A and B are shown apart, each in its own frame.
Chain A
């Protein structure tokens, strides 16, 4: 039996399949590109070629797009990213006491004590130092993001970059470039600035103790790992599936949910070929004028999102349990 976990984030949509021992047997890392439905469908289409519906014993969703994904695929568990990341990390190692997670648009710190979350924090309004910012800087410097970390490791003397704000950091970087510093020193300087920003912002006042797990897409950047280790003074562990930890957590939570309910609500891989359409409209029911997104599957409405009062989102209670070939 396999357990499917889907993490629909701002930048990437990740799908994993776990086996009975909760080992990763399949992982897909896709770009969300502002269209969570299409990203999930793309993932299912790939999986469809190798697996049958019956293989999937449970399905869970997480990430900022977890609700929409859950309606789409029929999830057994819909969980926030904090809990999902914590569950996945604890499954790997019961002794983890701190999780640093930096994703596309947000960053988090999760403190674990005795196997449960004891405190957490997320970045507030500003997304400085997250994956999208690094992406942008890599693009601006003409260096593929995958090689960003290797560049950083080549740095002799990292330059100091202002890390408080992405806009300031960028202009500071440009100034340093204009003064002729080499790219490696600038990139490592940027990593150090982002780590400083993270520790003073998200990590402010938090008791960061080892073992520390560094998760999320940004953990692939070796420069960031090194900068964290220098700042903290101890080893920072990047788990093998660091990008997929949210999805892994969702799959584990789904497995648990099904062990209680007895059967999965997963609607099958055929969903990949269904025609989904999102039609937005402004509800005129009251002065709030909520922007409601209406999701249609093959012309049939399956769910609404974005209203405050529940007038639309609670309207559709049931959708087809299994996806047929319509």
Chain B
């Protein structure tokens, strides 16, 4: 039995859990390669046009895997934390895929509630039954998968750069270096280190989130808002780089909340979509780097030349 796992959406965050679970059950795994142009093209071709880029990319991964596995895993992630939801596109992901891509093998699409042990167990028994009838083995696989996930550390925390920025956005936009044109590498090259929300404790975000007029409905919104606000309040970074996929509804809300909180603190919003030309992204990143660098210099600038502060001192 070969289980196919598409390397899209929350794969980067939860692959230790899912891969360990299916391996423990004795399944062989087929994982699609990191996103590339062929995958992007396939996704755009088969996915409904209204979907956001990461959902299209997920479709691309599925179409790349469909002939290589007997059982395809399409996670229907409903909830990660108690009392919260994630983007509705995750709940309907299996339907989108099943109705858009022909020639799929059997699929696992059981709803996944990760906010309680009971929820996880329910998912495991249903999903696991597709591979084995041995319930004890399924329960053991679940334990092993949870332990594997808890050991897993992810996220960026670059050290040793003169400037540091918070890199924010949905994880699948931040860690898919193809669709974000490797924004981290581009920033690093300009002397800017990045830090992501995984390097911040939830306790540190909590007071920021609690100060909102109501508790955010979405997990992504809570975490991203908490991370950005706490990074700015704690003076951990000199700027924010927010990677957002075009037409993302949740981002449109988060960005308004964030802007309201941080005022004129430097923030660059990078909208990503299907284009592969990098000139637009490069221009924005370079200009943002210039801005951070120059404004930093003005603050502690005591030039004997008086008026001419920094405009002509750029290290080109």
Q: Does B38 have its Cβ within 8 Å of any Cβ on chain A?
A: yes
From known contacts A80-B282, A94-B307, A114-B309, infer whether A287 and B264 are also in contact, taking CB-CB under 8 Å: no
Q: Give bound CA distance, A255 to B314, whole Å.
A: 11
Residues of A within 8 A of B259 (CB): 205
Q: Does A153 have its Cβ within 8 Å of any Cβ on chain B?
A: no
Q: Looking at the assembled complex, report how far the CB atom of A165 sits from the nearest CB atom of chain B, in whole angstroms.
A: 14
Q: Does A1 have its Cβ within 8 Å of any Cβ on chain B?
A: no
**Is A256 within 8 A of B37, CB to CB?**
no
Closest partner residue, chain A, to B297 (CB atom):
A116
Closest partner residue, chain B, to A115 (CB atom):
B309
**Is A83 within 8 A of B286, CB to CB?**
yes
Closest partner residue, chain A, to B38 (CB atom):
A287
Q: Does A87 have its Cβ within 8 Å of any Cβ on chain B?
A: yes
**Is B181 within 8 A of A117, CB to CB?**
no
**Is A114 within 8 A of B298, CB to CB?**
yes
**Is B311 within 8 A of A124, CB to CB?**
no
Interface string of B250-276 (1 = CB under 8 A from A): 000000000100001010000101001
**Is A116 within 8 A of B295, CB to CB?**
yes
**Is B311 within 8 A of A289, CB to CB?**
no
**Is A83 within 8 A of B290, CB to CB?**
yes
Q: Does A257 have its Cβ within 8 Å of any Cβ on chain B?
A: yes
**Is A86 within 8 A of B311, CB to CB?**
yes
Interface string of A74-92 (1 = CB under 8 A from B): 0011111111001100110
Q: Give bound CA distance, A125 to B246, whole Å.
A: 8
In B283-316, the 8 Å CB interface with A consists of 283-284, 286-288, 290-291, 294-295, 298, 307, 309-314, 316
**Is B287 within 8 A of A83, CB to CB?**
yes
Q: Does B182 have its Cβ within 8 Å of any Cβ on chain A?
A: yes
Q: Does B218 have its Cβ within 8 Å of any Cβ on chain A?
A: no
**Is B246 within 8 A of A124, CB to CB?**
yes
Residues of A within 8 A of B286 (CB): 79-80, 82-83
**Is A308 within 8 A of B182, CB to CB?**
yes
Interface of chain A: mostly helix, strand, loop or mixed = mixed
Summed over the interface, the residue pairs from A and B with CB atoms below 8 Å come to a total of: 103
Q: Does B117 have its Cβ within 8 Å of any Cβ on chain A?
A: no
**Is A125 within 8 A of B273, CB to CB?**
yes
Q: Interface range on chain A: under 10, 10 to 19, 20 to 34, or 35 or more? A: 35 or more
Q: Give bound CA distance, A94 to B33, whole Å.
A: 52
Residues of A within 8 A of B123 (CB): none
Closest partner residue, chain A, to B274 (CB atom):
A125
**Is A118 within 8 A of B311, CB to CB?**
no
**Is B311 within 8 A of A87, CB to CB?**
yes
Q: Does B118 have its Cβ within 8 Å of any Cβ on chain A?
A: no
**Is A83 within 8 A of B36, CB to CB?**
no
**Is B287 within 8 A of A117, CB to CB?**
yes
**Is B298 within 8 A of A116, CB to CB?**
yes
Q: Does B14 have its Cβ within 8 Å of any Cβ on chain A?
A: no
Residue among A115, A119, A252 making CB contact with B310, cutoff 8 Å:
A115
5 smallest CB-CB distances across A and B, nearest first, come from A82-B287, A287-B36, A77-B316, A80-B286, A257-B316
A-binding residues in B (CB < 8 A): 33, 36-39, 178, 181-182, 246, 259, 264, 266, 271, 273, 276, 278-280, 282-284, 286-288, 290-291, 294-295, 298, 307, 309-314, 316
